[in-house]
Each structure stands twice: as structure tokens, then as C-alpha cells.
Chains A and B, each alone.
Chain A
Amino acid sequence: MSQLVTVGQAFQQGLREEMLRDDTIFVLGTDLFIRGGHFAQVKGIGAEFGPERVIDSPISEAAMVSAGVGAALNGMRPVVDLNFIDFAFGAMDEIANQAAKARYLWGRPVPLVIRASSGITLYAAQHNNSLESWFMHTPGLLVVMPSNAADTKGIIKSALRGEDPVIFLMHKRLTGARGEVGGPDDYVPIGKAAVAREGRSATVVSSGIVVGKVLKAAEILAADGIEIEVIDLRTIFPLDMDLIEGSVRKTGRALVVTEEPPYASVASEVAASIQENAFEYLDAPITRVTAAHSPIAHSPQLMEALIPQVEGIVTAVRRSFERWPSSEQ
């Protein structure tokens, strides 16, 4: 039983262990060396590894990601830390048109990690974009979104041993969430989802911070005798459809809950893939529970109203059973 660490510390641990192992890994971003990043995600790394491996950048997102792509093409493993995923807009060509394309065009791997905090919290519209489906939609990128400390540590370690550009999304409101983590040799593979709670009544797929809300909903529903199986995607691309479809074949019902606008979303993709591959097992249409198709507001009352909440998840599951009772019940 290891000591409980925060998600932020888990990232730092995983990064640090890999930096000790591989001296081609370096971190580049704003406010990293002294402050340790806006989420303390690389705290202490600067002092330990020095300014050649923790490089403070001017606020030039295009230059940061360019530097990462070029350095990755020239033999290194950069971690570009954008702090907030919203700042990726300033480097979208470098991410989508350079990092993502080099392997396909040139057969040249780009072992680059772009880490950013994401997800919905305070500070309103421009700091609360959910871009995971943008990146999922871009061939050549891997996209990960861990929901807890152990996966955060295990997945960053895998990312730093892979050969692909990885968009590493950490929810802002999970930064301080504590949990156990694995040791130096514990890796969590990219492309593998996890069953966060087993159940037989319905499959509920989610990711990141939403997994916690779905688990709370599962407790409430269990009191009614509805046992939902909670799947934590962990990786947004490539989706682990084998795990999801296996669960749906067992439960006969699927919901997808994500914190993003609904159109062309991760939730849409999961739902479409389920119906393409497991339609005959479904007792009910697939339900999506997502954020509203809206920018995010400042007032906490407005902000919370825009994103999935436990009560809404419970209601969506119940409504599914009410409208489309299970064939075997």
C-alpha cells in the first residue's frame, strides 16, 4: 500500500522516474522551472534536473510545440506543457498539421507529449474548452484523459516510452484528488479502458472527472436495484471498443457521459461505435449525457448547470429503463 498522492504529484512522479531513466526527455513550457507549472505538475523537477531539462518558454505556444516537434524528429522526447489546453488554439497547426502528420508522410516517429490541464471549472469560457474530440478527430494523435492518480502516473510513463504524439489531458478539478499510485515499473497502457465498477444492468461509459460522478450515481441506482457497469475510457484515442462492446453485450444497455459539448463529440463516437458493433445486444437506444452546447459561464450556478451532474446521470439511467424496459426483465 503506497502513500496517497495527488493527481498532480502522480504526474510529477511518473515524469521524474522516466526522466531519470531516459536523458532525452525534457519539459518545455511557461512557468515551469520555479513555480512547477500552474498546477504544480512539475514541481521540484526544475531544481533536480536543471534548466536544460526543464525549459521555461516565452508565451509562444506555436514556438513551444514547434520546438517539441522538431526536437522529437531529431532524437529527443519532449514534454511540452501548455498548462491549459485552451492555449492549444495558438499551436493548432503545430499539433494537427505538423506533429500529427510526420509519421504518415515521412515514416518518422514524433515521440512528443503535449500535457495540459483541461475540463470545466472556474474562469469562464476561454479557459474551459473541451478539445478532446478535436484531437480524437485528427489522425496521428493519441489522446489520453486519466481519472485518477494511478492512471495519471502509469499513462505518462507509457507515453514517454511510445512513439506517438500524445495529448495528455488532466482535469483541473482532479489536480488535488488523492489516490494510490504504482511504482517505477508500473505502466498503464495507452488504448486500454478500465472497468471502474462492475454491474449487469447497464453500461455507462465516461472519462476523466465524470467517472467519479458516474460512480456516485451508481451508488444511488444500486439502492433501486440498478447495477450499472462503469467504464473509465482512460484513453480517448484509440478507444478501447473491445472492452466497451463486451460490457454492452452483457448489460444490453449503454449510456455515455462526458463533459464536452454534444456535437461530433467523444460521446457521439462511442455511441456510434456501440450501435455499429453491438446493435443486436441493445435493449434501448444509447443515451448521451454531455455538457450543453454552450460556452462556459463564470457564475458557478451557471457553470454547474452546463455540465453533467450526478442527479442528471441518475435520471438518464432511470429514464432509459422506464422508456425501454429490458427484454429479460
Chain B
Amino acid sequence: MTNSQATVPEPETLVDIDLTGLPLGELGEWLETMLIIREFEDSLEPFTRTGQIPGDVHQASGQEAVAVGVMRALAPTDIVASPHRPHHHALAKGLTPRAVMAELWGRATGCSGGRGGTMHLNDFSLGYFGSNGIVGGALGIAMGAALAAKLQHTKQVCVGFFGDGAANTGRTWECVNFAALEKLPLIAVCENNQYAVETYVGRATSGKSIADRAAGFGLPAVQVDGQDVSAVYKAATEARARAMNGEGPSFIEAVTYRYHGHQTNEIVNYRTGDEVEHWRLTRDPIERLRHALEEAGLLEASKYEELVANAHEVVQDAIRFAEESPTPDPATAAEGVIGLALDSKGAE
């Protein structure tokens, strides 16, 4: 896996992952969180069809290891910003499935009060500096937060997620350059899921790899198997240590794969069903962690079934919560646009 542009896995069976060096006692929680993310994402499409979730959403099924691997390398006070495919990040960072689900449903109990939806989640109390609807936007916010962390000596590390599509925007590299110059405590994580909407990364991205581009800015840049939670965790742990030591930013290109289309209800005609099946069979991040835990004697089959059932119940609870939650009061629709007290008629 050294080239961003052709990463269909060759093996015919599940590829092993190496748990060496991981906090073994915590891996059950990692698996539990990945299962909840998968269940959450896979539950959404029917509600977009009924309109209970207004509009479509971007699901991250298949990308769970990137979110969990990075997030478990962070401290709770660290900061994360997400792009338009954010649910896995939000859930791994500690937002509850209820708060995220209710937001997707546009309910008053959602994490953004129903104002944001999928692309504008937030919980600043958890260091979650929002999901962002504009390609490359989240990296900028994380970079700015990292500047504040450096100037105020808060010992926070900031993570900006973006996709392979954002690797072709100028702002992404403006931010990487600035972070490298200022030695900011930033981890730039490119989730290369290989399709920007329907454009294959090899069709859109010149050069050897996205990580190779980043290396040109003089910061440590690695390409890792994004379907291997262990590899992601280790890369993020190293990057965080560098940031904490004042050594500046790091760049991680996590080669991953999304099982669903760009958004719910999309007709996927730009890749084959065989390609998706091959990724599921050989690289599924949940199956690989499950298999490694079973091989290591850390997970019994009955426990796994328990985690699957738990994920189902957690997501069903979130759906019930969203469904029973009130919609926002239309009278508040234009409130809170600015903080300045508006006492002039022009601002009504």
C-alpha cells in the first residue's frame, strides 16, 4: 500500500492486523464503538427516504478504524474537526448516538439544536469543533485551534480530518504549510476513501501519493492502512507525541474505503459491486479487529454477539429518542446570528 491511486487489496482472505503495542484492555471498547458506528451509519437511509431525516447524509461505514484509531490516541481535551462525512468521528470523540441522531433528524435535542444537520455537528465541551460542509474547511479550523493551543500553551493537540477530494484544494496545502512553518500541534488526517463523490482518486490526484505531497512541506507524512485500527492508532500516537513535544504537525494519509455511496440513495455506477465485496471480505476494519482479538484470546464469540446486540439497541434507542424529540421552535429560526445586541431596525 504505497500508492494512493490503486489500492484494491490483492489477498483473497481477511488480512491480519497486529495488536502488539496496543492497550489490550481497551480494545473491547474500540470494537464496541466501531460496531455502534457501523450500526448507526447503516440505519440511516430508510429515514432519509421517509423524510424523517431531511435530506441525504454521508455515511462512513467501512471507515470506522480511522476514527477510532485516531480518537483513542488523543486526550479528551484534544480537538477534532470533521468534514462532510463526520458521524464516525463525532461518535468516537464522545458525542452520544442520541445527540447525533437527533441532529440528523433536525430535532431541538440534537447536538446543534437542529440548526446544523449532518455537516454541522458540534460539541465544543468534548473538543469536537464541528463537522464542516465545505471541502477542506475542517482542517483550517483545526489548524487555527492548534495555533491558539500553541500560543496559550494549553497542551492540546488538534486533528483536522479531510478526504482525498480536499487533497486537491489549495486551502488544504495553505494550512499544511502554515502549520509546518509555525510548528503547530496539528495532526492532518487525510481519509483517502478513494472517491471524491464519484471521482476516483487516481483520476483526480497527480503524483505518487497524497502523503508524498505532504512530505514536500517538510513535515512527517505517512500513508497507513486505514482499515487497520492498530496501524492508525500507532501513527496517530506518534504524531501526538511529536506535537506534545513541540515538534510540530504530522500528516497521516489513511487509505480507507466507504461501503456506501457518497450519500444515501445514490446510484453507485462508478465502481463495481465486486470491488466493494472484496474490501468487505479482506479489509473490513471490524472483522479484522474481531479476528485479531479472538486469535489473541481476548474475545469470545458470545461476547462479540453481545456487542453486536448492544450496538443495535444503542442505535434503536437513538432513533426512538430522535423520533420522540421536539422539533425546534420556528420563532427562533433567525435568532443568534450575531452576538451584538440588535436594537436598530436595520438588523431585524
Contact = CB atoms under 8 A, between A and B. Distances in A.
B134 A238 contact: no
A139 interface: yes
A63 interface: yes
Contact of B177 (A63, A68, A69, A108): A63
A162 B342 CA distance: 13
Contact of B171 (A63, A163, A238): A63
Given A63-B140, A140-B338, A239-B347, A70 B146 contact: yes
Nearest to B128: A106
A212 to B, nearest CB: 24
Interface in A13-31: 24, 26
A52 interface: yes
A182 B25 CA distance: 63
A24 B151 CA distance: 9
Q: Please provide the 5 A-B residue pairs with the shortest distance between their CB atoms, ordered closest to farther.
A: A70-B144, A66-B140, A239-B346, A238-B347, A163-B339
Contacts of B340: 142, 162-164, 190-191, 238
Interface of A: 24, 26, 52-53, 55, 57-58, 60, 62-76, 78, 93-94, 97-98, 101-109, 139-142, 162-164, 190-191, 237-242, 245, 269, 273, 277
A277 B345 contact: yes
B175 interface: yes
A75 B152 contact: yes
Interface residues of B, number: 50
Given A67-B178, A107-B336, A277-B345, A62 B145 contact: no
B129 interface: yes
Interface string B159-200: 000000000001100110110011000000000000000000
Contact of A102 (B130, B139, B149): B130
A256 to B, nearest CB: 13
Interface stretch (B110-118, B229-237, B289-297, B299-307): B110-118
Nearest to A55: B182
Contacts of B339: 103, 109, 162-164
Contacts of B139: 66
Interface in B109-157: 112-113, 115-116, 120, 122, 124, 129-130, 132-134, 137, 139-149, 151-152, 154, 156
A64 B151 CA distance: 15
Contact of B344 (A65, A69, A241): A241
B338 A69 contact: no
Nearest to A69: B144
A69 B112 CA distance: 18
B331 interface: no
Given A107-B336, A142-B340, A238-B344, A75 B115 contact: no
Given A142-B338, A238-B344, 17 more contacts: A24-B152, A57-B178, A60-B177, A64-B178, A67-B178, A69-B140, A69-B141, A70-B146, A71-B147, A97-B133, A97-B137, A98-B132, A101-B120, A104-B115, A164-B340, A191-B343, A237-B346
